[in-house]
Structure 1
């Protein structure tokens, strides 16, 4: 951060602290914001030929923003990644402008590059069941197979993120009929737990050689430490190879599938939104791969004049 003035560096640190403590941003989000904004500030120093204090940052023009975006794209950064970087810079400038009393129009009016959003690719119900069945066979240690099956069941059966499943503690077992899950940004949601998921976790707990301690991770690695996401990703990779599934069959795809299969069974989109913990309904629509045919079918059956 040597190219950044002490005042700008201090402002960035205060902004990141605000994002984490007040806005409840996840640690990974805060780190990404820090990297993206640092790169932006360093570019502006180089671009202007002088250290950018707060007064200089307040004078950044539309031409400066275009130059930064052109340089970033020229460095091989894709449209999606550039849009993410611009979002971080805008958040920082909105926060900074409120505190320093300047008008951040040049930054906030900069348009993000257009890109095609990739729809998530859920696995079929049959493939999801097969993946659960085969997970127990990936290890020569029976308790490890039960562990992996339990984790994947929570992803598909309850719509948990892998970080949420692996964040469960010993005190959470046996799982209740309804769990309170803290997700991204510290947002809490209520998640019903199906019998299959409770049974899978119970079977793992009975077989786990490390026992269950209230403040210790519920899911343990081979040597007793916290189970890492990479271990579950490896189980899925082995399973999809054996079943001939595409590379898109990842642990996160099981969460996609939770939403898609609920919708296909007649589940309400807004209820699924609550179960997934999405702030925006449009995000849930992407997860559930809602297509025109499906929406028109719902319309035809539900509209009073249809």
Structure 2
């Protein structure tokens, strides 16, 4: 069994009691720098700029952003504080479009606010802290459930970063990998994950902090790695899951799932049930975030009218290519047949 002593030393978010400290993940692994925010606008900018990233971590950060907004605007003499807080909630909601955990967390916070007539700060802070604590508890549960499924695995490939940096702590897919490794050390591979290199900069660094060996590969080496027989599972996270089991995740996940099918490698998706969007029937309805061309193009092409870039940061993997979706409420095997409705009804 995984113990709390095995929790990652990495902390993406730190609540100080009056501010939110955010580890600037754009500077990792070269520089460990925490930015401190005292208002919701700053937290929204931290999310939009990818200082904080990963669906669960984005939701947690947004929840604390609402706390900061209430702290800033509420007073008995300010009759418009609720309107000001709602404006901040809208700003937070507009920070990034694909990760459903963001909207889920804001809905939880707004529901608590709507029921408050007295000083709302203690109750709203308690809600944010619960969202944070529940995410960590869910990570541990998913780690155990996923590790049970991977009991006979010999090699795992993961994509992007799904660890403590992307969650409240421990991780979703990386939490499963941590738990598997604690039970029986196996070979772990991480794809570099272009264009932001979350695998190269974040996953490799995070596992190294916990003294877990990992081998980095170029994204384009994944097919050859699978053909070599070195891995039997691809284990990834998710930013949004449709009711039929289609999964939106970091760009390149769909490619890995297609390659996995060709090479008889299984695919596991690990995410809390807050990532399941009960309003979306299938992946075609998921909004895919498009980021700036400048994140791909070298500076010399900035003003070149003949060169442009297409920069979606997520793709959608059809449920039929996924072997198992692991949540804190259980595992959905063969979601292409069974979907995930049973998980949110559990």
Confirm or deny a common fold (TM above 0.5): no
More helix by share: 1
More strand by share: 2
Task: Calculate the TM-score normalised by the size of structure 1.
Answer: 0.29
**Higher radius of gyration, 1 or 2:** 1
